[in-house]
Amino acid sequence: MGQPRERRYIAEYVAKTFPDSPVKLGCPLGPGVRGLVEEYGLPKALTMSRGFRPEVDAVVVLPEKLIVIEAKIFKIVDGISKLPVYASLIPATPELWIHRKLPVEMRLITPWLTAQVQEMARGMGVEVDIYNPPWIKDYVDKMHSYWTAEAREARAAKLKLREILGVE
């Protein structure tokens, strides 16, 4: 859920936050599949390995550091847990080889956050940036309202009516 929204979300965020910095969106990480480099050469091997390598939402290249960024509208803990793995793969990523010695900052962008999740991020060394453009706020509010008592009651009433009417 939310994949096209998350792509728009990350693209807008990096364009706004890092307008003059090189950014790699959907950057594959880690080495290519073993054996392919020898047989096909590095560029083709990396293309062929794309589906077998994890992909971070964005990598921002700054003179003093790299920032690996995951964007999560929901499933925020998933983003936090992925970032340390992604950061560890930077030195083995051919596309980022020239930047391999730069310090790596891990950043999660999300439109909302709980105190518990903020504490998890802090414990993992992940910076959190709340980015909440109006179009995403409307979507988040709608999705969060799904779990309210009123919304659950409305769904239950609708289901009961369908049962009474014999509609599947």
Chain segment 44-95, per-residue pLDDT in tens: 767 776 677 889 999 999 999 999 999 999 899 999 999 999 999 999 998 8
Please state whether the predicted TM-score (pTM) of the whole model is above 0.75.
yes
Torsion 128-133-135-140 (CA) sign: positive
* Same domain, yes or no: 116 and 137: no
Place of tokens 């659950």: 152
pLDDT at 164: 85
10-38 pLDDT, tens digit each:
999 999 999 999 999 999 998 877 777 77
Q: Return the number of other C-beta atoms located less than 10 Å from residue 127's C-beta.
A: 14
Q: What would the two tokens of residue 91 be? A: 């030195």
Q: What integer pLDDT is reported at residue 49 of this predicted model?
A: 66
Same domain, 13 and 96: yes
3-state secondary structure of 30: coil
pLDDT of residue 2 exceeding 70: no
Q: Residue 1 corresponds to which tokens in the numbers above?
A: 């859920």
> What range does the domain containing 167 cover?
133-168
**Where residue 40 falls among pLDDT bands split at 50, 70, 90?**
confident
Do 117 and 159 lie in one domain? The reply is no
Largest CA distance in the chain: 67
pLDDT in tens, 105-139: 999 999 988 999 999 999 999 999 999 998 887 77
Same domain, 66 and 137: no
Count of domains observed in the chain: 2
H-helix or E-strand containing 68?
strand 66-71
Q: What is the mean pLDDT of the chain?
A: 87
Give the distance from CA 66 to its chain's centroid. Answer: 16
Confidence class for position 1, pLDDT limits 50, 70, 90:
very low
Which two tokens mark 53? 């390598």
> Cβ contacts of residue 45 below 8 Å, gap of 6+?
32, 33, 36, 37, 39
125 and 159 within one domain: no
